[in-house]
Chains A and B, each alone.
Chain A
Amino acid sequence: MQALYAQLLVGLINGSFYALLSLGLAVIFGMLNIINFAHGALYMMGAFVAYFLLNLGGISYWWALLLAPIIVGVFGMILERTMLQWLTGLDHLYGLLLTFGIALIVQGVFQNYFGSSGLPYAIPDQLKGGMNLGFMFLPIYRGWVVVFSLVICLATWFLIEKTRLGAYLRAATENPTLVRAFGINVPRMITLTYGLGVGLAALAGVLSAPINQVRPLMGADLIIVVFAVVVIGGMGSIMGSIITGFALGVIEGLTKYFYPEASNTVVFVLMVLVLLVKPTGLTGRAA
């Protein structure tokens, strides 16, 4: 039974990363209409920035949680201003190819300098150790990742669904030309939205660093599953991405317990089933 709970916890942690990453992808797709294949590389950059901050600047994990998303977010905004903005109105394929190329370049550069093996990143002292819950042992850092991710996901949902700024974003998703004619600087909003989505990926990277180590290909390994999560949840759906992210993490964890052979494929099997039954995803709306 303990093994089941342990797998559930692993599932929740993976789900946290899926949720944070798919949320960023959903935000970017909703606003820019771009399938951001560079997301995994930007997640990896978040982890590396945390690593550099600690090892070169002596800046702690807690500051890295704030600084890494900002630094990588600014990098993302430069990408958007210099490259992605020119793809407005073109077929999705162009955005996909460009961001895929960016991902390969970024990963290649990091691989060139740091190789493929993982660099250690220590768990901060305050989050070391664990708690015996009676039915299982809970490492504190892992519990922190789940709770913190959930808080960030819900805060992002609140920002987009319940605030004036979110109303601008949703409206601009539907009709950017008209929103701009109301006096809102839509191009700047698009840049900031891309920065926000990329910042979420970088935040996931920082959270992941103490668990999975810091590796140039850490994003490439994860991003395919995250795309499956986004497709299942519904492209562009904020709450759909969050719920599906956590749910698929748990389903994957349960599969590891009950039928380990299928644990790597269960997400893709579910994706196929969802696409067959509801092509717009579980919470997506038809275009």
Chain B
Amino acid sequence: MPETAMAEAPAKAAGGGNILQVRNLEAWYGESHILHGINFDVNAGEVVTLLGRNGAGKTTTLKSIMGMIGKRTGSVKFNNQDIIRASSDKIARMGVAFCPEERGIFSSLDVRENLLLPPVVRAGGLTLDQIFNLFPNLKERLNSQGTKLSGGEQQMLAIARILRTGASFLMLDEPTEGLAPVIIQQIGHTIARLKKEGFTILLVEQNFRFASTVADRYYVVEHGKIIDGFSNAELAANMDKLHTYLGV
């Protein structure tokens, strides 16, 4: 992507102050109590990764922040505004974007419609040209049905469409799941580039080898709680512990 490509992107990161503050976050699916008091922070311009086994509560944490879980308590502050009671459309309009694990590509929409679906909520989003520089495949497939794309292309589309919106804070749920190594590498480069341009990213990953290439800090989630946290510089020293946590 040209140097200018994201020049206008997030006015976001400068300063590196606290952008997201999660305190005692609890969430329920019906009668099932999933999150039992999650606490963590994300600073502007950081890539923070939530690690954990399947069912630990990582996705529920993202969905709770995004307001997609019906019953949730605690405190979630985005740019010092408490959003725990806000509806998900309101949270999105404040500059939070979510890319779901299952990618959420709409089968009744073509690639162009999928790409243009999320409305621009703030100035500073990427233009279509900038997006096509980042993901050239999408430009060639604009008229294809969204779900006819390969898994990698669908993931690119899922990330691309939230970059248009001007959101400064991106939550990516397992963006590498089920993808070929070469595509994982491309997604990694994209995340690194977004970070360089000032986006703040909260990543959910099971693949910590991938996460280690982009993340600044890690939190480990287990049984709906954060049980550990360390920086990328401390990763090597925590490797044994991490293997135990993740069961790998």
Contacts and interface: CB of A to CB of B under 8 A. Distances in A.
Interface of A: 164, 167-168, 170-171, 173-175, 177-186
Contacts of A164: 116
B88 A167 contact: no
B92 A170 contact: no
Interface of B: 66-68, 87-89, 91-93, 97-98, 100, 104, 106-109, 113, 116-119, 121, 162, 165
Contact of B88 (A170, A171, A180): A180
B118 A174 contact: no
A177 B100 CA distance: 11
Given A170-B109, A177-B68, 5 more contacts: A181-B66, A181-B91, A181-B98, A182-B117, A184-B89
Top 4 nearest A-B pairs by Cβ distance?
Answer: A183-B92, A182-B118, A181-B88, A170-B108
A184 B113 CA distance: 15
A168 B93 contact: no
A185 B108 CA distance: 20
Contacts, number: 58
B106 A175 contact: yes
A189 to B, nearest CB: 10
A181 B165 CA distance: 12
B179 to A, nearest CB: 20
Contacts of A181: 66-68, 88-89, 91-92, 98
A183 B118 CA distance: 7
Contacts of A178: 100, 104
A171 B87 CA distance: 18
Contacts of A184: 89, 118-119
15 contacts: A171-B113, A175-B104, A177-B68, A179-B117, A181-B67, A181-B68, A181-B91, A181-B92, A182-B89, A182-B117, A182-B119, A182-B165, A183-B121, A184-B89, A186-B89
B85 to A, nearest CB: 15
B106 A170 contact: yes
Contact of B89 (A171, A175, A180): A180
Nearest to A30: B108
B36 to A, nearest CB: 23
